[in-house]
Amino acid sequence: MKLQELLDKIENELKLRYYSRKTIKSYRLCLSDYFRYIKNITKEPDISLVKKYLLEKQGRGQSSQTVNLHLNAIKYLYREIFKSGTEINIKFAKTSNKLPVVLSQREIEEIIGSISNLKHKILISLSYGAGLRVSEATNLKINDVDLSELTIHIKGAKGNKDRITIFPEKIKNDVTNLIADRPGNDFLFASERGGKLTERSAQKVFENALKKEGIKKEATFHSLRHSFATHLLENGVDVRYVQELLGHQNIRTTQLYTKVTNPSLKMIKSPLDS
C-alpha cells in the first residue's frame, strides 16, 4: 500500500470512530512524520525504534504533550490499523504541571469593553460566561442556545461528548438581536464570507483586545475558559458542578483550578508585611 493510501485509510478509520477533526489532523501529521523517520513500514512495531523516535523528539525540546500525542498516534496505528498483538509498553511522558493563565474579572470587563464590533463582543462575552473552547464557540448553532432556559447545548465537544452549560443572562438581549430573523440551523457567529467564523478569527479578536488594553499576561482565547472555572470556584460553586459545566471527564482536571483560587493561601501574609 502506498503511503498516501495508508494515511487516507487511517483518516477514514478515525472518522468512522467519530474522532474530532483536530485529532484526525494531528494523528495524520504525527504518523506522516513517523513514517518518514522509520522509512520501512511494517505491520509489527520495532519498539526500540519507536523509543528512539520519541527520545529524539524529547531531545529537540518538544513538549510532553507533543511527545504523548505522537505516542498515542503510533499506538493507534499498530493496534487499530495493523491489528498487531505486540504491546507498545512505553510510559507516557510526564506532563507539565503549569498553572492555567487566569484573567481577573476586571481584566475580562476591560477586554470585552474594548471591542466595538457587537458580534465579536458577544463572542468573547459568551465564551467567558459559558466556559467555551474556541471550537465550541465557532461551531455553535442558533438552535443550540435556549434563551428561555438560559442554557447552551454543546454538541460533539472534546471526546465527541455533548454537555449542557449555562448562558449568561447579561447578554440575552444582545444575542436576541443577533439572531433575529435568522434560521435556527445558522451558525450563531456567522462569517461575513458565509459559513462560520473561523477559530483563528475568534482568537484574533481576543488577541487584539488583550493588546489594546495593554494586559501583559500570556493569555490566550482558552484563558477565558480558565477564568470562567476559576471565578465560579471563587464564588463558592462546588467543583463537581464546575466539572460538569466544563465537560471534564476526570475531576482532577477541574481540581487544577483550585490551586489558582485557593482562598486559604490568599489569607496568609508575607513575612515582609509583618
Q: Is residue 133 annotated as part of the catalytic site, yes or no?
A: yes
Query: One of 158, 161, 172, 211 is an active-site residue; which one?
Result: 158
Nearest to 108 by CA among 81, 94, 83, 126: 126
Please say whether the beta carbons of 274 and 194 come within 8 A: no
Q: What is the grid cell recorded at 192?
A: 461575513
Q: Is residue 222 annotated as part of the catalytic site, yes or no?
A: yes
Query: One of 57, 121, 133, 226 is an active-site residue; which one?
Result: 133
Q: What is the grid cell recorded at 191?
A: 462569517
Helix (H) or strand (E) holding 227: helix 222-234
Q: Is residue 153 annotated as part of the catalytic site, yes or no?
A: no
Q: Is residue 34 annotated as part of the catalytic site, yes or no?
A: no
Using DSSP, state whether 115 is helix, strand or coil.
coil
Query: One of 57, 70, 225, 226 is an active-site residue; which one?
Result: 225
What gap in Å lies between CA 166 and CA 164, rounded to an integer? 7
CA distance to 140, 163, 170, 237, per residue, from 132 (Å):
10, 11, 17, 18
Task: Give the residue numbers marked as catalytic.
Answer: 133, 158, 222, 225, 248, 257
